[in-house]
Homo-oligomer: A and B are copies of this chain.
C-alpha cells in the first residue's frame, strides 16, 4: 500500500468511524450473533496476493459490525465505561507511525519524557500529593501501565521485594523461601478479580477481608486481622484499598486503611480504576483522604477520562523497590545516560511499550480540564436521575448509595426474580446490563458508559427497566 492509497483508505475509514460513533445510538447495543458466527464467513487462509482496501472496508460493516457489542452506545450500561475520543484516535495514528518501543530513555527520549510530564499533569489534575510528582524531586513518579490488573501486580511485587529486603536486612542467613510462604496481603472482599489474581501470580496468600454495612473495608477490621496473622507467625506486607469497587462502586475507607498501613509498616496500594477519573472534580476528592500515606496509586484514564485503552495511570512513592525487583538487564538494553530519566522497562511486567502519553497530551489539550470535569459530572448526574426514578417506584430498591455513574438496584424480592429481570431486560435487546452479587444479594448494575448518553437515553433505559419489571412482577403473581 503506497502513500496515496493510505490517504484514501484512512480518509474513508475516518469517515466511517465518525459516522459510526455519531450515529451509534441507532445500532442494537448487544450483538445477537451466535458463537462461531464469523469463521464460515472468512476464507480458511490468508491471501497470497494483496486485496483492494475497498473490499476490506466493505467487510468491516458486513462481517465485523454484526459481531460488535457497542460499548459507546448510550444504551450500553454493562461493566464500566471504556474511553473513546477523537483526539485520542488521532494521537494513536501518530503513535502507530512513530512506532518506537520506549523500554529505555535512549530508545526514544520523547516517549519517556512526555510520559513523565503527562503523569505529573494528571497527578495535578486529580489532586495527588506532591510525593507522586516527578517534578517534586522526592523520588516518586508516574508510569503508564496497560491495565489496572498489571498495576496491582506491579505494586504487589514491589511490596514483596520491600518486605524481603527489610527482613533479610535483619539476618543475612534468611532466604526467600523462609519468608514467601508466610507473606500475607489484604484487600476488601469486593476488590476486583485482578487483585485475587495478583495474589495468585505473585505466589502469596491474599485475604479477602469483610466489609462493613456500606460495603467498605474499615481500618479496625483490617487491623484486627493483621494482628491475628502476626500472632500466627505470618508476615503482613501489602493491602489494596479500592476506591470504587466494580461490584457496587463502594469506597474503602482509605483514611483508616492508610493509618493502619503506617502503623503496621505495610505497603498500601490504591486501586481507583474506575472512580479515579472523578477526582478531576474537587468535590469527589474526599474519597482520597489518607492518600498522602500510601505507597502506590492507580486509576484508568482509559475508563472515564476519554483516553482510549490502554492507559492505566500508576504512581509510585518509591519506584526503586519495583525497579530493583524487575532489573535483569542485558548489555543490549543498557545505555550511557542511565539514571537521569526513568528507564520505564523496570517499572512494568513487559519489556516493550508504546508511545501512549501522546494520547494523554492530545486529550488533555484538545478537550481541556473543564470539559473533562463537565463530562464526569454529567454522567454522575444522569446516574442520580435514574436512581430517583427507581426510588419513586414501589417495585424497586437501590442496593446501595449512588456515588458515581453506577446505579445498583433490584426489584424488592428474591434473587431469582432479579435474575429473571436482568434476563428480560437483556433479551428485549434495547439496553445491556450485567449483574453483581454482594453478600448474597443479587442486583443489577446500570453504568453510564457513553459520552453520548443524555437525559433522553435515561428515559429509554428507565422505561425498559420499568416495563421489564412490570412483566416480571405480573408473571410472579
Contact = CB atoms under 8 A, between A and B. Distances in A.
A442 to B, nearest CB: 8
Interface stretch (A220-228, A286-294, A321-329, A381-389): A321-329
Most buried by B among A85, A96, A111, A368: A96
A79 B107 contact: yes
A63 B111 CA distance: 11
Interface string A52-68: 01011000100111111
A113 interface: yes
Contact of A203 (B3, B30, B84, B203): B203
Interface in A356-415: 358, 361-362, 364-371
A86 B370 contact: no
Contacts of A99: 71-72, 82-84, 308-309
A201 B200 contact: no
Interface residues of A, number: 143
Contacts of A11: 7, 11, 14
Contacts of A302: 352
A436 interface: yes
Given A93-B17, A368-B50, A349 B149 contact: yes
Interface stretch (A31-39, A235-243, A260-268, A458-466): A31-39
A21 interface: yes
A44 to B, nearest CB: 8
Interface in A413-435: 434-435
B109 A364 contact: no
B352 A193 contact: no
A211 interface: no
A70 B148 CA distance: 30
Given A46-B365, A354-B309, A110 B247 contact: no
A190 to B, nearest CB: 9
A116 interface: yes
A180 interface: yes
A189 to B, nearest CB: 11
A87 interface: yes
Contact of A96 (B92, B192, B435): B92
Interface string A135-161: 100000000001111100100010000
A184 interface: no
A210 interface: no
Contacts of A362: 56
B109 A201 contact: no
A316 to B, nearest CB: 17
A214 interface: no
A117 B64 CA distance: 13
A147 B352 contact: yes
Contacts of A16: 94
B64 A147 contact: no
A85 B6 CA distance: 10
Closest 5 pairs between A and B when the two form their complex, measured CB to CB = A67-B110, A17-B97, A35-B340, A38-B113, A147-B350
Interface of A: 1, 3, 5-7, 9-11, 13-18, 20-22, 30-31, 33, 35-39, 42, 44-51, 53, 55-56, 60, 63-72, 78-79, 82-90, 92-94, 96-101, 105-111, 113-114, 116-117, 120-122, 124-125, 135, 146-150, 153, 157, 177, 180-181, 192-194, 196-197, 200-203, 246-247, 302, 308-310, 325-326, 328-333, 337, 340-341, 349-352, 354, 358, 361-362, 364-371, 434-437, 442, 445
29 contacts: A6-B18, A6-B89, A6-B90, A10-B10, A10-B93, A11-B11, A13-B94, A14-B93, A20-B97, A33-B110, A38-B109, A39-B116, A39-B135, A53-B90, A68-B98, A68-B100, A71-B108, A82-B100, A89-B93, A146-B146, A147-B350, A147-B351, A201-B201, A201-B202, A246-B332, A310-B352, A331-B434, A332-B435, A333-B434
Given A38-B113, A48-B370, A332-B445, 14 more contacts: A7-B11, A9-B87, A10-B10, A17-B98, A45-B121, A49-B368, A67-B114, A68-B100, A89-B93, A99-B308, A101-B309, A147-B351, A149-B349, A332-B436
